[in-house]
């Protein structure tokens, strides 16, 4: 290999971006890239080609090279005339078996492609998109449906472009991805909330219980509660069911349910390798209970979540969108710092369109389209505010809240915070971008948006209101910062706070307090 210091410098001049390229599915092969004037020669293994940029592993590390400035020679060189974009997607089976295929088909239909589906074996399905006129292949999507752990493992092995995940990336996975040159998977733009789901407890039809408190549900799955009689049910031992340990559903259940109380899963929980098997097991066990997603409950009976103070919150679409339901579960797509092929980038942009949101809803998941909820549909919330008002929340405070909010409508876009932190949670971070995009697109031009802060009931009411107001102001500033092209004159953005005046859940648990600490968005 011929490579002088000057050549290295020149090579960096043709590096169009620091972003890596999507990996090819074939094994890396030798290539030599030569600048058109013959002054620069780069030799190494071709790791990826997206139709425009080469990614080459060399003795000096990985280089990303603009293909328009070089000639390629060697067995690894792609056929530029017959190039077909390849996008590999791997991870959670509940997403890969239903949601992603529906979205790819919707994208193909909207973009004018013909689409052909074929079984690639071992849990893999291939979708070939072809030009509707010429019939020439344009892109190949390969979906590998396994589990969340396998999705991240495929990413670290350079075998996939996108990870389907039912949980956030683990610190060790993010660390290894960083070391592999894939960027910070926890950074802005690396994680995308594709859709929403909810973790729901299910029992067999005919089970006497209709709801369960989060405290008791955690007690069941941690082994503290082992008999249904402790919950007012029959005198029978409780059998528990959950997905296999590598499944994102199982990991999310442990994170969201047991994490806040630092409990561990009971050792005798019965595991299943698919959501369908999980539901079937509960359906045939009158004394069993499982945690699954709202999209995969089959004919089992869902239990609402309640609290000691009388709240009962079912896993409805609206409650999940607003995160009023405490076990809302975002569906994530993770991408490393890689340049996807053009078709892949177009597909990724399609995912945020209203058309894609309709596909998400039809597939049984919860879309992220903002809805406006009139005050008339929120009677239960205001009734709870009155019934649960603490000693420091007087009639004057409640009247001020009602007078302020009655002329407005609540958006389903809400903002909540990590456990014990002032940092926004994953769904809320995604909501910043969603609302900013809507503002930039002019969807709320001429209207007034009010960011309203609420708190839990721990501590003095006045202090709680001040904390809630600071959070509301923080979210308002984050939206303005994200909406870079927004003309502030087109819209009014304000902040207000009512502290602990309208709880959404009981303050008797860590989950309830986390639900109550929120910033809502109201619009007029």
Range 458-486 average pLDDT:
91
Q: Where are the domains of the chain?
A: 5-73, 85-190+335-357, 197-322, 370-523
The answer to whether 409 and 415 have CB atoms below 8 angstroms apart is no
CATH number of 197-322: 3.40.190.10
CA 335 – CA 271 distance, rounded (Å): 29
Check for a shared fold between 5-73 and 370-523: no
Tell me the mean pLDDT in the region 155-166. 93
Q: By the 8 A CB rule, do 445 and 499 touch?
A: no
DSSP string, 179-196: HTT---TTSTTTEEEEEE
**Closest C-alpha to 252, from 293, 280, 282, 304:** 293
Helix or strand holding residue 286 (H, E): none
Query: Contact, 389 vs 399, CB < 8 A?
Result: no
Whether the per-residue pLDDT at 383 is higher than 50: the answer is yes
pLDDT above 50: residue 3? no
CA distance 319 to 321: 6
In the chain, % helix, strand, coil (3-state, to 5) comes to 35, 30, 35
pLDDT at residue number 11: 41
**Residue 87: is its pLDDT beyond 60?**
yes
| Angle of CA points 218, 222, 228, to nearest 5° | 70
The verdict on domain 5-73 having CATH code 2.30.30 is yes
Statement: the pTM of the whole predicted model exceeds 0.95 = no
pLDDT > 90? residue 470: yes
β-strands 124-131, 239-243 pairing: unpaired
What is the rounded average pLDDT of the residues 98-103? 95
Q: Which CATH superfamily is domain 370-523 in?
A: OmpA-like domain (3.30.1330.60)
Of the pLDDT bands very low, low, confident and very high (cuts 50, 70, 90), residue 6 is: very low
294-318 residue pLDDT tens: 888 999 999 998 876 667 788 888 8
The CATH number that domain 85-190+335-357 falls under is 3.40.190.10
At 310 the pLDDT is 63
């Amino acid at each position: 290999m011929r490579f002088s210091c000057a050549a290295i410098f020149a090579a960096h001049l043709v590096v169009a971006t620091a972003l890596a390229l999507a990996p090819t599915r074939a094994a890396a092969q030798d290539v030599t890239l030569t600048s058109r004037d013959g002054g620069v020669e780069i030799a190494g293994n071709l790791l990826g080609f997206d139709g425009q940029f080469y990614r080459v592993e060399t003795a000096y590390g990985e280089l990303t090279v603009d293909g328009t400035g070089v000639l390629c020679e060697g067995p690894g060189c792609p056929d530029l005339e017959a190039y077909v974009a390849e996008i590999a997607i791997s991870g959670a089976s509940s997403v890969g078996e239903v949601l992603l295929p529906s979205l790819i088909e919707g994208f193909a239909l909207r973009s004018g492609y013909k689409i052909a589906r074929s079984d690639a074996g071992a849990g893999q399905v291939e979708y070939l998109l072809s030009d509707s006129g010429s019939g020439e292949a344009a892109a190949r999507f390969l979906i590998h449906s396994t589990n969340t752990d396998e999705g991240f493992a495929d990413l670290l092995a350079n075998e996939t472009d996108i990870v389907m995940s039912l949980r956030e990336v683990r610190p060790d996975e993010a660390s290894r991805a960083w070391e592999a040159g894939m960027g910070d998977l926890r950074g802005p733009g690396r994680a995308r909330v594709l859709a929403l789901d909810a973790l729901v407890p299910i029992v067999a039809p005919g089970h006497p219980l209709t709801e369960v408190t989060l405290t008791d549900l955690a007690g069941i799955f941690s082994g503290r509660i082992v008999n249904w009689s402790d919950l007012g049910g029959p005198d029978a031992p409780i059998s528990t069911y959950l997905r296999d340990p590598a499944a994102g559903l199982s990991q999310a259940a442990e994170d969201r349910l047991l994490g806040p109380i630092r409990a561990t899963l009971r050792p005798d929980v019965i595991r299943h390798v698919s959501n369908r098997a999980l539901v079937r097991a509960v359906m045939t066990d009158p004394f069993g209970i499982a945690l699954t997603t709202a999209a995969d409950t089959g004919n089992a009976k869902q239990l609402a979540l309640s609290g000691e103070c009388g709240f009962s919150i079912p896993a409805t679409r609206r409650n999940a969108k607003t995160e009023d339901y405490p076990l809302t579960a975002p569906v994530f797509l993770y991408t490393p710092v890689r340049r996807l092929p053009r078709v892949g980038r177009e597909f990724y942009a399609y995912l945020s369109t209203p058309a894609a949101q309709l596909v998400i809803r039809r597939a049984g998941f919860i879309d992220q389209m903002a809805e406006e909820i009139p005050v008339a549909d929120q009677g239960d919330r205001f009734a709870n505010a009155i019934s649960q008002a603490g000693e420091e929340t007087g009639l004057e405070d409640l009247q001020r809240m009602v007078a302020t909010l009655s002329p407005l409508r609540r958006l389903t876009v809400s903002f909540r915070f990590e456990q014990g932190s002032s940092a926004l949670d994953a769904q809320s971070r995604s909501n910043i971008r969603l609302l900013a995009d809507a503002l930039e697109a002019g969807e709320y031009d001429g209207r007034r948006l009010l960011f309203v802060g609420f708190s839990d009931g721990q501590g003095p009411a006045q202090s709680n209101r001040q904390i809630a107001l600071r959070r509301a102001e923080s979210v308002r500033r984050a939206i303005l910062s994200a909406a870079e092209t927004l003309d502030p004159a087109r819209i009014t953005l304000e902040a207000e706070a009512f502290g602990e005046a309208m709880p959404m859940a009981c303050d008797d648990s860590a989950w309830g307090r986390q639900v109550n600490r929120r910033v809502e968005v109201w619009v007029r």
